[in-house]
Every structure is written in C-alpha cells, then in structure tokens.
Amino acid sequence: KAGVTQTPRYLIKTRGQQVTLSCSPISGHRSVSWYQQTPGQGLQFLFEYFSETQRNKGNFPGRFSGRQFSNSRSEMNVSTLELGDSALYLCASSPGQFNDEQYFGPGTRLTVT
C-alpha cells in the first residue's frame, strides 16, 4: 500500500498570507489527524477528521482550520500567517478508531518570513 502523502513538502510564505496544505491518507484509512511540530513544543495536536467530520480539535487559534473530503483526503488551512507558525506540519492516517496506531506522512515544512 502507498503511504501517506503530503503536498507541498516545502513552503515559504510571508506574514499575513494564508496557506493550504494537503494530505492523502493510506487507502482504506478513514481518520486523518494533523500535528504541528516545532523544536520547542514537540508534536502538538491540531485536529482530527473522520468521515468528513471534525471529531477533535487541539488548542490552536481559529486561524487554523481543516476539512476532509469524501475520499478521505484532507486539507488544512492557516490564515493570516505569523512568524510563530513556522513548523513542520504532519498528517497522520489511521484505520478509524482514535486509539489505533497512526501512520505519518513526510510532513510539510512551512517557513514564514
């Protein structure tokens, strides 16, 4: 099976702009989670989608949003970018239950200047 894919892999944006990141889960996986990883904070949970519904959301401002499509592919959007949003954004898919193991994509490295 193909693994989780994320596009783009690298992105450079300017403060105030917005960005959309894409994730394609492993075939058959219905749950997609998003994480932000920074050297200081580690892996921080952003949100999780299952069957096009957001089931859980982490402690991030409303500038961070996401959605899931009927084919389980997911996108996340960050509006009004801040310097502190520079991070590795990781997508993970799992078969369905929240206590299943997760399979991660390679991540999107976002740099905000």
Which one among 71, 98, 111, 113 touches another protein, defined by CB under 8 A? 98
Closest approach of another protein to the CB of residue 80, in Å: 25
- Euclidean distance between CA atoms 40 and 62, whole angstroms: 22
List the interface residues with another protein, window 67-96 (CB under 8 A). Answer: 88, 90, 92
Residue pair 30/50 in contact (Cβ under 8 Å)? The answer is: yes
**Residue 45 forms beta bridges with which residues?**
35
Backbone phi and psi for residue 47, each to the nearest 5 degrees, phi listed first: -165, 165
**Residues within the interface to another protein (CB under 8 A):** 4, 33, 35, 42-43, 45, 48, 55-56, 58, 88, 90, 92, 98-99, 101-107, 109
